[in-house]
Amino acid sequence: MKTADRRVMVQARDIVKFYGRFKALDQVSLTIHEGEKVVIIGPSGSGKSTLLRSINRLEEIDAGSMVVNGMDLYSKNTDLTRVREEVGMVFQAFNLFPHKSVLENLTLAQIVVRGRSKDEALAKAKVLLEKVGLADKANAYPGKLSGGQQQRVAIARSLAMDPKIMLFDEPTSALDPEMIGEVLDVMKGLAREGMTMAVVTHEMGFAREVADRVVFMDNGSVVEDGTPEHFFTSPRHPRAQQFLSQIL
């Protein structure tokens, strides 16, 4: 199936976002289709995290529209929780609930938000922990886990909600180098299963290997949007060329 035939999962149009007088997003538009893996890169302060966070309205925007899974996210009439329960989010700082065990981290929202029974939620949680390779840590508390393990739990916690799209906000930036691989492996596995993904990262290897599209942002604007081959070999924009020459 060609990308263009697939259902549109995220449709951002002309998004403008100010922090005080600083323009973080300057009329950004972005489309993500079902099953697509989009990697967003760019220098820090370019607005990539802000854009990602606006996909489940963790940021308020000043202009533009964002339609996610067919629902207009910034409309007054939209039930925000309905949108968010379909959008998984993984944070740089993991944000596991420290007062709950790994298993409880995975079951809480299933029970409270999805209304699943405890048994059902537990069964799902165990399958997912197996999948991220942490079945033996089910009863541990987040504080006892390494950064890499915490992030894998965080991914499993999001997956437990059966999201239609997963957002990753610099998921490996807070990790020690030797733990980055284990998290990226889980993400690659997800990508192979066909999950729709939007990933903000500095891991160029991951972008090259997994991305269907690479979006390059600079100064609050999208300046390149194309295949990884195109981006890594022949970027048009001088800012992208400069960025690549610095990191490669």
Partner 1 sequence: MTHKEPAKIVDVGDGAAIPTKGDRGLFTAWRIAFVGAIAILSWLCLTRPDPYLAIVKFVPDGIYVTFKVTVGSILLALVFGLVTGLGRISANRFYNGLASLYVEVIRGIPLLVQIFYIYYALGRFVKIPDLLSAIIAMAVCYGAYMGEVIRAGIQSIPKGQMEAALSLGMTRGQAMRHVILPQAFKIILPPAGNEFIALLKDSSLVSILAVADLLRRGREFASESFTYFETYTVIALIYLIITLFFSKLIGIMEGRINENS
Looking at the Cβ atoms of 56 and 172, the one nearer to partner 1 is 56
Q: Which residue has the tokens 């709950």?
A: 100
Residue 37 contacts residue 190 (beta carbons within 8 Å): no
- In angstroms, give the least distance from the CB of 86 to partner 1: 8
Phi-psi region of 158 (alpha: psi -120 to 50; beta: other; left: phi over 0): alpha
Q: Distance (Å, rounded) from C-alpha 26 to C-alpha 45?
A: 13
Binding site for partner 1 (CB under 8 A): 19-20, 22, 24, 45, 56, 58, 81-82, 84-89, 91, 93, 95-99, 108-109, 112-114, 143, 154, 157-158, 161
Looking at the Cβ atoms of 152 and 213, the one nearer to partner 1 is 152
Q: Specify the DSSP element, H or E, that contains 210.
A: helix 204-210
Looking at the Cβ atoms of 24 and 184, the one nearer to partner 1 is 24
Looking at the Cβ atoms of 42 and 235, the one nearer to partner 1 is 42
- In angstroms, give the least distance from the CB of 159 to partner 1: 11
* Residue 43, burial from CB neighbour count under 10 angstroms (0-12, 13-18, 19+): middle
Compute the half-sphere exposure of residue 247: CA atoms within 13 Å on the CB side of its CA: 15
- In angstroms, give the least distance from the CB of 139 to partner 1: 14
- In angstroms, give the least distance from the CB of 151 to partner 1: 12
* Residue 75, burial from CB neighbour count under 10 angstroms (0-12, 13-18, 19+): exposed
Residue 224 contacts residue 235 (beta carbons within 8 Å): yes
Give the torsion sign (CA, 141, 124, 71, 196). positive
- In angstroms, give the least distance from the CB of 187 to partner 1: 17
- In angstroms, give the least distance from the CB of 45 to partner 1: 8
Looking at the Cβ atoms of 111 and 204, the one nearer to partner 1 is 111
Looking at the Cβ atoms of 125 and 214, the one nearer to partner 1 is 125
Nearest CA to 30 out of 248, 226, 174, 184 is that of 226
